[in-house]
Amino acid sequence: MAHVHLEDGAISPIWVLLWWAVAAALIAFALYTLRHERTSVKRLTVGAMCATVGVAAFMVTIPFFGGLHLNLTPLIGILAGPAIGSLSVLVINLFSAAVGHGGWGVIGVNVVMNLVEVMIGYYAYRSLRVSLRAGRFTSGFSAATLALVASAIIVVIVIAVAGIQDSHLDEDETARNLVFIAAANVVAGVIEGFVTAYIVVFIGRVKPDLLEEVEIRRGEANMSVPAAAR
């Protein structure tokens, strides 16, 4: 999925520092949010489990289009929420870089990309379930696909603007490669959308309390989750 798999030195230091600064600001805001709201032990546990599963998902390569992997970041957003989900993706990217899944210099941009997926996944799912009363499968598929397609487009724009240092490709070759990357990520995003939808439906049947925070309207914590077709 949308993840910058470039080694250290591929992106100029200015862009590395810029994306690290953006990522640090977003993580700081997530910590600030958590400090000023009630966070249950269960929610923290879910966030830790999401980080563990996310690291494993990043390591499993699907042998298509030169190698793809599932992110599960929209699912992390749905289950853990945007604040704790932000910390989960930071941990995922740190561990991924530690085992060579992209360089340390691209952690910043990858954290930002994954945060986009977490945020869109959470708020799109919540809007569909709470406002439009859509079913869990429809909400999960739509939220995950939208999040991953958006990040696929953003990552191509990021690479196109920042450029790759010491690349031997001309502009036309680079453009063709970026279009191919975007198309591959969109296809993978649709596939992950189905995977996310089935996981959400399964969780909703066996452990529906994990979806309470994202499915219950504000101020209705003591009411039941809105009924919707599965």
Interval 205-215 mean pLDDT:
92
Q: Which CATH topology does 13-215 take?
A: Arp2/3 complex 21 kDa subunit ARPC3 (1.10.1760)
**How far apart, in whole angstroms, are the C-alpha atoms of residue 144 and residue 74?**
5
Residues 6+ apart with CB under 8 A from 15: 109, 162
Domain locations along the chain: 13-215
Give tens-digit pLDDT for 13-52.
898 899 999 999 999 999 999 888 877 788 889 999 999 9
pLDDT for res 29: 94
**How far apart, in whole angstroms, are the C-alpha atoms of residue 13 and residue 103?**
13
Q: Is the model's pLDDT at 181 over the cut of 70?
A: yes
Task: Identify whether the C-beta of residue 75 lies closer than 8 Å to the C-beta of residue 199.
Answer: yes
**Alpha-carbon distance values, 200 to 64, 79, 146, 176 (Å):** 25, 9, 16, 36
Give tens-digit pLDDT for 92-119.
999 888 887 767 888 888 899 999 999 9
User: What's the maximum distance between 2 C-alpha atoms anywhere in the chain?
Assistant: 60
Angle between helices 171-206 and 73-98 (to 10 degrees): 120
Q: Is the model's pLDDT at 219 over the cut of 70?
A: no
Residues 6+ apart with CB under 8 A from 83: 30, 33, 34, 37, 39
Q: In which band, very low, low, confident or very high, does the pLDDT at 229 lie, cut at 50, 70 and 90? A: very low
